[in-house]
Amino acid sequence: MDEIVLVPVHQHTNEEVEKKGDVLLKKPPLFRDATRPMFTSLELEDLFSHPLHYTFRKIQVIGKGAFAKVYLARIHDRPDKGFFAIKITENVSKNPKTVHHLANEILLMEKCRNHDNIVKYFATHRYSVRDEIWMVMEYCTCSLQDLLVGDLGEKYIRLFTFQLLNALSFLAQNSIVHRDFKSANVLVKVDESSNDIMVKLADFGLAVVVNGPRSGKSVCGSRFWMAPEMLKNEGYGCKADLWALGCVMFEMMDTSPPYYEHNSIKAMFYTVTKGAASIRQPHRWTTQMHDFLGAIFQVDPDARPSADELLKHPWVNNKELHNMDHSQMKDILRSASFMKIFDTSVYV
């Protein structure tokens, strides 16, 4: 079993310390414009040394990317602290650009740390001996993509859409565009305090700060979820994420995003020329839901409502959201959590 003690690499002065239970978190440097691509060595040193003072034990890999793996982990001899997700980026000295992208991701997640529908970030440490950077985050049971094998039904699609709109409203207020919004980057868990089902936006590796509704220029993200204005290279802003939310709704309704039956090039062409695809079995969904989806799938971003405007739509501005029986969904999540944690074939 692998383990590491996360400790400071140098002393910090004049910093706020925020107490979460008995977990002390040091605040990173003042949030900055994430469009700036490079950081100084001193800024990076400061950013990568805000640790949790515990020994973590890795349990198993729960996610993989091009440059990093995400591990399920827990604190040694402190099972009462529950589980954490630790993103470990390897060979960082050989990939300086990756380090700068990770620094940008950390700053943005720090900015969003207290939002209920965004995965909580705790601390980061550069472990020089292993040439790794460890990023400690909130653990969630599964991704929304994992739940698409079953029939969510309109009530859960509405609940999850409402919560994700709250996350996107917060990002828009801070001029942040996620740029990789899809079901695989939406995580699900049962909230310990309220006992409610929560979805949380994760993976800010491609996120940036924009200066206006058309100031984003780089074409990036996952092709089936890209907004028309991004594909047409017309400039984009926070409303590009709303189009992607529509695609996530499409996934929840139809198990896959629009035009997923085509190759990605043809799907992008159809998105630009035709807008969103038609839902199969449209009779399953209410008129209000169709109206909401039509609003979010406006090809012209100027005609597309903002997140705050969409939160006023009667489909999500609905008292039924607060009177739901979650017992069946909790059973599904408990089963997913049990299988993940006790799959010893992938124990590290």
Enumerate the active-site residues. Answer: 180
Q: Please, what sign has the CA dihedral across residues 234, 296, 239, 144? A: negative
Burial environment of residue 281 by CB neighbours within 10 A (0 to 12, 13 to 18, 19 or more): exposed
Listed in sequence order, the DSSP H helices in the chain are: 41-47, 96-111, 153-173, 228-231, 239-254, 264-274, 287-296, 307-310, 327-341
Tell me the three state secondary structure of residue 118: strand
Instruction: Please indicate if the annotation marks 319 as binding a ligand.
Output: no
Helices (H) and strands (E) in the chain, counts: 9, 14
Q: What gap in Å lies between CA 162 and CA 319, rounded to an integer?
A: 12
Q: Please, what sign has the CA dihedral across residues 246, 138, 206, 146? A: negative
Q: Which of 157, 124, 152 is nearest to 56 (CA)?
A: 124
Helix (H) or strand (E) holding 216: none
Q: What gap in Å lies between CA 334 and CA 344, rounded to an integer?
A: 17
Binding residues: 87
Binding residues for ATP: 87
